[in-house]
Amino acid sequence: MKNPVLFLVLDAFRWDYLDAETTPFLWQLHREGVSVNRVRTASGFTQRTTIFTGTWADVTGHWTMHCHDPARSPFRFLAGKRWPAVAQAIANRLPGVAGRVFEARLRTWIYGRARAWSRHPSTARIPLHLLPFFAVTEDERPVQEPGALGTPSVFDRLHEAGVPFKYLMYPEVDGSDRSTEAALVRGAGDSLHAYFGLLSGADQAGHAHGPRAPETARACAHLDARLHRIHTAFEKAGRIPRWLVVGDHGMVKVTEHVDALGTLHRTAKRHGLVEAQDWLAFCDSTSVKVWALSPRANGFLEEAFSGLETSGSVLEERTARRRRIPFGDRRYGDRVWLANPGILVRPDFFHRREERVLGMHGYDPGVEEQKGSAVVHGPGISSTAVEEAPLVDVCPTLCALLDVAPPAASEGRSWLQPVPVEAG
């Protein structure tokens, strides 16, 4: 196969990170191939599902990494046990490094046990005693396996067509950009038709330093150099690649922290409610989901987010339809609060209390800073500019490169097709 397809997701590579000085290799691809200047991302944190199925979370049911589903929870072996709450309390009281090491070892052990039920049972920073309430969404099975995402995906098409490919995204690899680059370089000389990889340097730098920090610009430059080295390795092997490079979402500068969990605990205390018996909450970085576990908590739901009106809003059906996210699906809450762009929920279930977070994503996809970018380049691909397109377009574009039909649920349009001209 002379022209293998290299599909690379640049995690959190915002549309305005691309320029001739910082990312010269990508800039060249952008100038010579199909350049999508802005990609409207999906709501939440499951962009992989949108990319590989070509449809949105209200169809796939995958909105965020975790959902309320005790029956399917890979942590259900902890249900009814008292020691996780005791262990969490000890970890919270131990000072500094001692507390972090103690908790990390516990989470590593729990992860290993939970692998019996899930490919990647991330515990994130979910309090240990609450883990049995939650299941993972995308990563219950390896996403590249047939039927793994529930909704037909590009991988189902590849398996049906017998197309050989290599999936090099976390957790199939260790997740470091260095190891992903090395795996792609090693694969340059083999006979596979397609390679799937992810580079996360821009995401890590954007979270830690902010979206426009010098450190983030340097991370983008490192990504660009990695892409160039991968391209060179394939050229030396006599295999000129066809690239599809996608910045799956952007990054927004954090301007304010909101202690939504503290608000919930104070409200629950006024109602005389007990967490994990009467009510439950999940704090993402940019949203909070609340469940009533007993009839006593129904009134609590109505005022759960009282006082947070200036920092966000309760999810309504109209907003859910616009953002294409599930509404009325109890796995994602009886009541949901969405943070305004730049508002960070702290504490949350993904970061340590002392961890510095200066950039975040997962807000309204219509916000400019939330948008990514994309480039398609290689033999037979003409230079074309697309000003803006939705993330669902990645799937049919990828299928066109791979010469397979898009999945049945795909709503997107391939960027390799001519833009239709309206009759005037």
For residue 217, give the CATH number of its domain. Answer: 3.40.720.10
Measuring CA to CA, how many Å separate 73 from each of 63, 82, 118, 140? 16, 18, 9, 10
Same domain, 38 and 95: no
Q: Are residues 272 and 339 in the same domain?
A: yes
Is this model's pTM higher than 0.75 or not? yes
- Same domain for 262 and 347, yes or no, is yes
What is the pLDDT averaged over residues 124-128?
Answer: 97
Are 235 and 305 in a shared domain?
A: no
> Between β-strands 384-390 and 34-40, what pairing exists: parallel, antiparallel or unpaired?
parallel
Mean pLDDT of 389-418: 96
Residue 265 and residue 350 share a domain: yes
Q: Give the pLDDT confidence score for residue 29 in this predicted structure.
A: 97
**To the nearest whole percent, how much of the chain has pLDDT over 90?**
94
28 within domain boundaries:
yes
**What pLDDT does residue 419 have?**
55
The whole-number pLDDT of residue 191 equals 86
Question: Would the pLDDT of 407 be above 90?
Answer: yes
pLDDT at residue 417 tops 90: no
Question: CA angle at residue 203 from 202 to 209, to 5 degrees?
Answer: 80
User: Each residue of 234-273: pLDDT tens digit?
Assistant: 999 999 999 999 999 999 999 999 999 999 999 999 999 9
Per residue in 105-128, is it b (16+ CB within 10 Å) or e — as a string? ebbeebbeebeebbbbbbbbbbbb
Is 47 a member of any domain? yes
Same domain, 260 and 346: yes
Same domain, 375 and 228: yes
Residues 182, 132 share a domain? no
Q: 16 pLDDT exceeds 60?
A: yes
- In the 8-state DSSP scheme, what is residue 370? G
Quick one: angle between helices 96-114 and 83-93, nearest 10?
150
Kindly report the average pLDDT of the chain as a whole number.
95
The count of domains in the chain is 3
Q: What is the pLDDT of residues 370-396, one digit of tens each?
A: 999 999 999 999 999 999 999 999 999
Within a domain: 264: yes
Residue 8's pLDDT is 98
Q: Considering 357, 381, 412, which residue would you say is the last residue of a domain?
A: 357
Q: Is residue 151 part of a domain?
A: no
Separation of alpha carbons 329 and 104, rounded Å:
32
Neighbours of 270 (CB within 10 A): 10
Q: Band of the pLDDT at 424, cuts 50, 70, 90?
A: very low
CATH number for the domain harbouring residue 264: 3.30.1360
Whether 293 is covered by a domain: the verdict is yes
Please list the residues that pair with 389 across neighbouring strands: 39
Q: Is 397 a residue whose pLDDT tops 60?
A: yes
Asked if residue 45 is part of any domain, the answer here is yes
Rounded Cα distance between 326 and 274, Å, is 28
Regarding whether 321 and 386 lie in a shared domain, the answer is no
Confidence of residue 175 (pLDDT cuts 50, 70, 90): confident
pLDDT, residue 420, reads 52
Structural domain boundaries enclosing 114: 66-136
Higher pLDDT, 298 or 60: 60
**Is residue 147 a part of any domain in this protein?**
no
**Domain identity same for 126 and 173:** no
Dist. CA 24–CA 84, nearest whole Å: 50
* Domain finish residue from 300, 325, 357: 357
Q: Given this model, what pLDDT does residue 372 score?
A: 98
Residue range 178-229, pLDDT digits in tens:
999 999 999 999 989 999 999 999 999 999 999 999 999 999 999 999 999 9
Question: Which of the pair, 352 or 146, is modelled with greater confidence?
Answer: 146
The answer to the question of residue 224 being in a domain is: yes
State what percent of residues in the chain have pLDDT above 70.
98
Residues in a beta bridge with 243: 6, 377
94 and 240 share one domain: no
Q: Give yes or no for a contact between 368 and 39, defined as CB atoms under 8 angstroms apart.
A: no
Co-location of 270 and 329 in the same domain: yes
Question: Residue 421 has what pLDDT?
Answer: 38
User: Rounded to an integer, what distance in angstroms lies between the CA atom of residue 279 and that of residue 377?
Assistant: 51
- Condensed to tens digits (0 to 9), the pLDDT of residues 18-45 reads 999 999 999 999 999 999 999 999 999 9
